[in-house]
């Protein structure tokens, strides 16, 4: 299913961050979504996934915020330089990737930089449903999106602008001071997420109460090497650490359709004959991932040393 959406507003009030509001061209209600969901949008020749900032209940608009990335590899240059109010864009319905846990008694929400976007979504939903929250938001002063939204939704949110060491000092105190049943949600740069997850583990948080959202290339750890066997041609191809399955197949002269190369568009889906995929995409549903019958070659890998694909 593809949604056709019109750009109804652009907000450039924060340097380097553009917030975009999208709506149905006829004003119809949009598909609802779970807080922390993504919207995969095709902009120019790229498809990228962005976190929605609404609470997801009966939305009339979708709002995303896009950080300008200097090399433009993720399509952010298109968003910043070419997208205009009134433009029509194609999108896939929102997909949940970072949902709040309903049984949590309290939600500790930790955001770094543009990683605040799904946290704003969580916060809006928490306010709507009366859930207890605590918010830490770390950013570089003058470069933070949604500060006003965060403070309006959580007036006691802590805005941390003194750098990583001060942030970690504060985080460690907060982590040891949570009642039983609190769940931690973190979204931000990869290094920050890793530091938060490590600090939580070191202070005794079970992994089941720690939820994280990586985005962009941060999601792509180099991964272990494996060998892929192509069932139809019988050839085998080595996939080294740091090389994607898609790149390895292309290197062996095997053509696989692709578009986003980020695990969001669904173009590079291939069938699995044997072995267990290590899914790292945002496209397949949980059920599809659990079945293990397909994988997205641009980002996903193999759990074991070999994988057979039906190519």
Residues that bind ligand FES (CB under 6 A): 258-261, 263-268, 281, 283, 296, 298
Q: Which is nearer to ligand FES, 210 or 282 (CB)?
A: 282
DSSP letter, residue 299: T
How far is residue 93's CA from residue 7's CA, in Å, rounded to a whole number? 16
Helices (H) and strands (E) in the chain, counts: 7, 18
How far is residue 143's CA from residue 170's CA, in Å, rounded to a whole number? 21
Q: Which is nearer to ligand FES, 78 or 131 (CB)?
A: 78
DSSP string, 188-245: S-HHHHHHHHHHHHHTT--GGGEEEE--GGGG------EEEEETTT--EEEE-TTS-H
Shortest CB 75 distance to ligand FES, Å? 12
Q: Which is nearer to ligand FES, 18 or 261 (CB)?
A: 261
* Burial bucket for residue 208 (CB in 10 Å: 0-12, 13-18, 19+): exposed
Shortest CB 40 distance to ligand FES, Å? 9
Q: Which is nearer to ligand FES, 122 or 261 (CB)?
A: 261
CA distances from 57 to 32, 83, 269, 286 (A): 5, 27, 31, 22
- Specify which residues 90 forms β-bridges with: 4, 42
Shortest CB 283 distance to ligand FES, Å? 5
Q: Which is nearer to ligand FES, 14 or 297 (CB)?
A: 297
Shortest CB 38 distance to ligand FES, Å? 13
Shortest CB 259 distance to ligand FES, Å? 5
How far is residue 144's CA from residue 258's CA, in Å, rounded to a whole number? 33
Q: Which is nearer to ligand FES, 149 or 281 (CB)?
A: 281
- CA proximity to 112, closest of 153, 79, 161: 161
Cβ proximity of 200 and 184 under 8 Å: yes
Q: What is the gyration radius of the CA atoms in the chain, in angstroms?
A: 20
Shortest CB 27 distance to ligand FES, Å? 31
Shortest CB 244 distance to ligand FES, Å? 9
Q: Which is nearer to ligand FES, 33 or 283 (CB)?
A: 283
């Amino acid at each position: 299913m593809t949604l056709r959406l019109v750009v109804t507003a652009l907000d450039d009030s924060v340097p380097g961050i553009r917030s975009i509001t999208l709506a149905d061209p006829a004003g119809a209600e949009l598909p609802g979504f779970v807080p922390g969901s993504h919207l995969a949008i095709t902009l120019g020749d790229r498809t990228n996934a962005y976190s929605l900032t609404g609470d997801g209940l009966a939305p009339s608009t979708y709002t995303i915020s896009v950080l300008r990335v200097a090399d433009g590899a993720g399509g952010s240059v298109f968003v910043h330089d070419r997208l205009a109010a009134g433009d029509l864009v194609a999108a896939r319905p929102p997909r949940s990737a970072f949902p709040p846990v309903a049984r949590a008694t309290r939600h500790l929400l930790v955001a770094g930089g543009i990683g605040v976007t799904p946290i704003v979504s969580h916060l809006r939903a928490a306010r709507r449903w009366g859930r207890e929250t605590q918010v830490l938001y770390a950013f570089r002063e003058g470069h933070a999106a949604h500060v006003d939204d965060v403070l309006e939704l959580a007036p006691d949110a802590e805005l941390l602008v003194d750098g990583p060491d001060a942030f970690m000092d504060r985080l460690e105190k907060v982590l040891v001071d949570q009642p039983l049943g609190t769940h931690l949600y973190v979204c931000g740069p990869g290094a920050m997420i890793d530091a938060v997850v490590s600090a939580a583990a070191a202070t005794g948080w079970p992994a089941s109460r720690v939820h994280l959202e990586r985005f962009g290339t941060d999601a792509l750890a180099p991964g272990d090497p494996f060998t892929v066997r192509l069932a139809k041609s019988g050839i085998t191809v080595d996939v080294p650490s740091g090389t994607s399955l898609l790149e390895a197949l292309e290197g062996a002269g095997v053509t696989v359709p692709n578009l986003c190369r980020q695990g969001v568009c669904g173009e590079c889906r291939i069938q699995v004959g044997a072995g267990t995929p290590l899914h790292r995409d945002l496209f397949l549903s949980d059920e599809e991932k659990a079945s293990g019958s397909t994988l997205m070659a641009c980002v996903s890998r193999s759990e074991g040393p070999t994988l057979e694909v039906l190519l």
